[in-house]
Structure formats: C-alpha cells, structure tokens
Amino acid sequence: MGWRILIRSLKGHKARLALAILSVVLGASLVAALTNLSLDIPQKASAQLRAYGANILILPYPVPGVSDAHLREEDLAYLERADIAPAIAGYVPYLYSGVEIGGQKVVLAGTRWDKAREASPWWQVTGRWPLDGSEVQEALAGAQVVEKLGLGLGEEITVEHGDNRRTFTIVGVVSTGAAEESQLFVSLQAAQKLTGLAGRVSLVQVSALAQKYPLSDLARSMEEGLPGAEARVVGQIARAERQVLSKVQLLMVLVAGLLLLASGLVVLSTMTTSLLERTSEIGLMKALGASNLRIAGLFGAEAVIIAAGGGVVGYLLGYALAQVISHQVFGASVAPHPLAFLITLAVAAGVTLFASALPFHRALSIAPALILKEE
C-alpha cells in the first residue's frame, strides 16, 4: 500500500522531483569537484610552488674564526633515510668557489646533475644539460657569464683555482633571472677535485613537502641528523605555500556552502509543496490507522531518492569538472578518490534530510479529525 502511494506520488509530480534532484546535483557536483581537487591540490600546488625554489637551506653551522666551513657529502645520506625521505621531494647539494677563466673571476658551482634537473624545472637551458658522470668535463654556463666572457656553445674553457686547472666544454647556457646566471655549473665531483675539497659541499637546497610536515620540525630534525649543519626555513616560499593552499581551500568551502544553501532551500520548497498537496491524503491515512512511522517512511523514501539521485549524478559531474580544472590549472589529471564519493553522498543526504526536517514534522503533526472535518 505504502509503495503504491509513493510510486503514484512520484509519477504525479515528476517535474517537482526533477527540480529537487537537479538542485541537489548542482550542490553535490561542486562538493565532488572541490573534494577531489582538495585531495590533490596540496600536492600539485606545492609541486608548482617548489618549482620556484627550495623551502629549506642546509648550511654549515657558523664557527667563530672559520670563514670557509663546509658540510660532509657523506652525511647527506641522512636525507634519504626511511624516517626523513617521505617528507622530502628532493634536495640539491652545491659546492661554491671563486675561480678564474681567462683572468676573469667567476663563481663556480658544483652540483649533482640528476638532482639539479629534478629540482630546477624553471631553468631555461639553451643547448643541453651536461651528462652525468665524474669524468665528463662538461659545463653549464649562466647567461651573464657567457656574455661577460664572450663564450659560445661547444667552446672549451680553462678554469683555474689556485694552482689547479681543469678544462670544460660549454654544452648549455642557463637563464633564470636570478643569481644562477652569474655562475658556471660543473659536476660536484669536478668542482671538488678542482678546489681540493673532496667530499665537501657548501650548502644543500631542500624541497620539503610543506603541506604534510611542518617545515620548522623538519628543519630541526635535519639539524639533529646532520653534524655541524644549520637548517633554515626559506620564509618566502614556505609562506607562499601556506597562504595559497589556505586561500584556495577557504574559497572552496565558501562557494560550496553557498550552493548547498541554495540546494537546501529548493529541497525545502519542494518537500513543503508536496506536504501541502498531500495533506488530505495524510489525514485519511492516519484516520485509517497509519502510524507516524509509516507517514515518515513515505516522506523519507522521497527524500532518499532525491539525495541518492542528486548525490550520484552530482559526483559524476563533479569529478568531470575536477578533471577540467586540474588540466587547465596544473596540466595533470585528478585521480578518483573513494573518500570524495562518500563525502559527496553524505553531504547530499545531509542537505536533503535537513531541508526535509520541517515538512516531516508538520506531516507528523497533522490531526486527521480536523482534516476530515474540512473535507
């Protein structure tokens, strides 16, 4: 009996039911899109922000009377340990020294090419990156160095440091708009041999996962794990990560909240209209012995249909919207998250049931005697 009444009611008010489901779809689709994005945005946003520089610098701890302190390269194995590696996206060691090329003073920077390529995607290299290997005598010259010395791609240069000399071939020119343009980059091993600083580095640039781990805690752990090291948080990048992520997430919450409020109002209007149209029917059912539980079940079934239909369709549309936004902003796809689906259904159900609470209450408080008397 109850199912027949429910089916007849749904068939007789298709337009009203479709409007209610559509309103939930709109709200649920935004929730689904924002939830899927919010689960991926921290990683993608942090990855793009890290492309503009490291957020932690590891330097030799200042020692009174020592102006040329260095870190031991072997100690950097700490950064690859199982307890610290998950918090680090990458790190790049550097050994800096003043050298001469044709009587001109230049800053020499020795680094590990594999690490530098991975951590410096914003470097614009004309030519190519030097090949890996300690015996490869190739160099990457900053744009200002090339202009200052009149160098060209494929040209050989002799680099002098005290009594040591080493010949390199320029295979690439790097432009960054920053200090890198005034430096000559060679492999870390070559720089160590030229300067006589075997196994030493001047500093380490670390790109840490700031959205997962507090940078201050990571810096403190690095100081404890690296003998004679001082870890400094690069405030500008760290603040940028936190501010961008918090603003994006706040915007998501505000927009989703407003749209869900509108969806709730539509559902409230729909359920209230349904109650007014079925007042006499409810009164008759109560007069024939229908319990409040049965009446609530009829309205609840209609609310469940609205919530389930709006939630499922909304999630599918929201996931598609998340894919479009992610490709446009980050150039990458968004993986489907079961948690996002569950959250979307929960929000759709919560909004629908909350908006239906007042009509439910009024339906249960209908006095059959008064309704039948009016009829």
CA pair distance 123, 104, nearest whole angstrom? 25
- For the chain, the residue count is 375
CA dist., res. 33 & res. 315, Å (int): 8
Query: Residue 173 above 90 pLDDT?
Result: yes
Per-residue model confidence as pLDDT tens digits over 1-37: 444 555 555 555 566 677 777 878 877 887 888 787 7
* β-bridge mates for residue 277, sequence order: none
The rounded mean pLDDT for the chain is 78
Exposed, middle or buried, 284 (CB in 10 Å: 0-12/13-18/19+)?
A: middle
Average pLDDT over residues 90-95: 91
Of 128, 111, 137, the C-alpha closest to 174 is 128
Note the pLDDT tens digit of each residue in 177-213.
888 899 999 999 999 999 999 999 999 988 887 666 7
Neighbours of 107 (CB within 10 A): 16
The encoded tokens of residue 195 equal 């300067």
Task: Summarize the confidence of residues 345-364 as an average pLDDT.
Answer: 75
Please compute the mean of the pLDDT values over residues 307-334 and round it to a whole number: 80
Distance between CA atoms of residues 64 and 215, nearest Å:
27
> Range with the lowest mean pLDDT among 21-25, 342-346, 356-360?
356-360
Phi, psi of 11 (to 5 degrees): -65, -35
How much is the average pLDDT of 110-125? Answer: 87
Q: Cβ distance 155 to 169 under 8 Å?
A: yes
DSSP, collapsed to helix, strand or coil, labels residue 290 as coil
How far, in Å, CA of 100 to CA of 214, rounded?
Answer: 42
Sign of CA dihedral 100, 104, 106, 112: negative
Identify the residue whose tokens are 């309205």: 299
Could you count the other beta carbons within 10 Å of the beta carbon of residue 239?
13
What pLDDT shows up at residue 158?
A: 94
Residue 26 and residue 22: Cα distance in Å, rounded?
A: 6
And the tokens for 185?
């980059």
**Which span out of 29-43, 187-201, 283-297, 298-312 was modeled with the highest average pLDDT?**
187-201
Range with the poorest average pLDDT among 47-51, 62-66, 332-336 = 47-51
Helix, coil or strand: residue 133? coil
In 3-state terms the chain splits into helix, strand, coil percentages (rounded to 5) of 60, 20, 20
pLDDT digits (tens, 9 = 90+) for 224-271: 889 889 888 875 544 555 565 566 667 767 777 777 777 777 777 776
Q: What is the CA radius of gyration of the chain?
A: 33
CA 310 – CA 321 distance, rounded (Å): 16
For range 74-103, the mean pLDDT: 89
> For 100-119, what is the HEC assignment?
EECCEEEEEEEECHHHHHHH
Strand (E) positions, 6-87? 56-60, 71-72
Q: With 80 as the cut, is the pLDDT of residue 367 above it?
A: no
